[in-house]
Amino acid sequence: MAKKTDQDTNSNLWGGRFEGAADQEMLVFGASLPVDMNMLPYDIMASIAHATMLGKQGIITADEAQLLVKTLTEVGHDIAAGKVELSLEDEDIHMAVEGELIRRIGEVGKKLHTGRSRNDQVVTDFRLFCRSACSEVIDALLGLMTDICDLAEANIGVIMPGYTHMQKAQPVLFSHHLLAYFWMLNRDLERFEDAAMAASELPLGAAALAGSTFDLDRELVADALDFVQVAPNSMDAVSNRDFALDCDYACAMVMMHYSRLCEELVLWSSDEFGFITLADAYSTGSSIMPQKKNPDYAELTRGKTGRVYATLIGLLTTMKGLPLAYNKDLQEDKEGLFDAVQTVLDCTGALDGMLTTMQVNSERMLDDAQSGFMAATDLADHLVRSGMPFRDAHHIVGQIVHDLEKQGKDFRDLSLEGLKAYAKEFDDLRLVDIRHVLEGHDTFGGTSTRRVREQLELAHTLIADYDESAE
């Protein structure tokens, strides 16, 4: 393991202006090294692209560029493997890499920072991280979306009550309900694609804020790092964190959708609903009540939404009063996003496990769908199709519901003659049959079996298109 002397600390990389040593407590306060180890592979990647460009531009020799590239690769591998001893004097991973480079190859290592500042270096690395993180989340989302489609397909005939205001409203296919979350996640996926694109602008070459006096080829570096464009304004380049906010926002949105789904899993798994049974692997017990089976992981996912929201609000607040260009405040841009991305990935895995292992209690769902007068709207619609004004139809069906409720009955207790007593236009007892009612909702995007199968086909096509574009 490489050792350092007092003269080797990275504060000496910028310490020429200073006489006194840094206060140790302030070194701890100001250091980001414990947080930004996540940036190591991206710092190596960007530094290699920068060194290669310096060599091609003749700013350093080709041999020097080659040595820098070779040693950077070795340093990155050794730090990742724990073979290099780091300390808070390194301040951040960027200074740690450069310091280790200098210890290994001396004067040539000192040339790496030619034409760049930590300001443009750090934000380049951060953009690379964001782009990679978005790609990782997209892959995880596609897996969860596929599982939702599979679950919907396996339960295509299962009928459940649909709700508004948490009151039974109309019958829907369980598959239709599940696919609502597919489309939420599809929008989330698009947001992460947009966030990745927003991160694909190269700041390197902006230096501290004014650009560089060296003949840098920024387009060459952009191509090497697969950025789609070069930042056109050096001051904006080093102070822009919109891309990170885009990523934070995408994380917050997907967690909001996860929280909604988890809320339903918690409700559905309760005795009061009984629509699903979560697998033991995704439940916990009680320390005092032996009978309990708690949906803790659904609740925890729901709870973690708050911390991801906080990341977005935190960075928005940090950014709101910053003058141009770089300010130390911007060191606070990364830790929250690192956590938010990992939280989204962890929660995606938890949801994936819950959905693929849970038991769907179809008979309980159907029984609940048959109660609660959920054919009422369709009864009124039938009267309207017979020529009756909707408000009159609404009143008649409301009267039927009122009378049955007073008797402790529901639509299943009605005979055709009893129905006709309210309006002669009622000519078929199937009008109150839940399956018949459900299949009548046959507009595009509706809950009929035909339309849900159509929706499933569209969902599978979208997933296939994403998979094809990723190859």
The burial of 417, by beta-carbon neighbours within 10 Å (0-12 exposed, 13-18 middle, 19 or more buried), is given as exposed
Among the options 165, 287, 415, 469, which is catalytic?
Answer: 165
Residues in the chain: 471
Structure tokens at 275: 């629509």
Q: Please write down the long-range contacts of 266-273, taking CB distance under 8 Å and 24 or more positions apart.
A: 266/295, 266/298, 266/299, 266/302, 269/295, 269/298, 269/358, 273/364, 273/368
Residues pairing with 167 in the sheet: 164
The percentage of the chain sitting over the pLDDT mark of 70, rounded to a whole number, equals 93
Q: How confident is the model at residue 291 (pLDDT cuts 50, 70, 90)?
A: confident
Say what the pLDDT of residue 24 is. 65
Please give the domain boundaries of the chain with CATH numbers for all domains.
6-114 (1.10.275.10), 122-158+173-213+235-367 (1.20.200.10), 372-470 (1.10.40.30)
pTM (2 d.p.): 0.91
Our answer to whether residue 371 is catalytic in this structure is: no
What are 134-185's pLDDT values in tens digits?
999 999 999 999 999 999 999 999 999 999 999 999 999 999 999 999 999 9
- Catalytic residue selected from 77, 270, 286, 395: 286
Report the alpha-carbon distance of residue 30 to residue 12 in Å, rounded: 16
pLDDT band at residue 57 using 50, 70 and 90 as cut-offs: very high
CA dihedral 170, 172, 178, 181 (to 10 degrees): -40
Label residue 31 left, alpha or beta by phi (over 0 means left) and psi (-120 to 50 means alpha): beta
Q: What is the pLDDT of residue 29?
A: 66
Q: What is the pLDDT of residue 390?
A: 95
Pairing of strands 201-202, 229-230: parallel
Three-state secondary-structure class, residue 276: strand
Q: Is the pLDDT of residue 4 over 50?
A: no
Q: Give every CB contact of residue 294 below 8 A, 6+ residues apart in sequence.
A: 283, 284, 285, 286
pLDDT band at 450 (very low <50, low <70, confident <90, very high): very high
Please indicate whether residue 94 is annotated as part of the active site. Answer: no
Tell me: cis bond preceding 325? Omega within 30 of 0 counts.
yes
- Three-class secondary structure of residue 190 per DSSP: helix
Residue 26: pLDDT band by 50, 70, 90 thresholds?
Answer: low
Does residue 87 carry a pLDDT above 90? no
Please write the tens of the pLDDT for every residue from 30-50: 667 778 889 999 999 999 999
**pLDDT at site 470:** 75
pLDDT value at residue 9: 42
Q: To which H or E segment does residue 437 belong?
A: helix 434-439
pLDDT digits (tens, 9 = 90+) for 383-419: 999 999 999 999 999 999 999 999 999 999 999 999 9
C-alpha separations of 303 from 174, 256, 259, 260 in Å: 25, 10, 8, 11
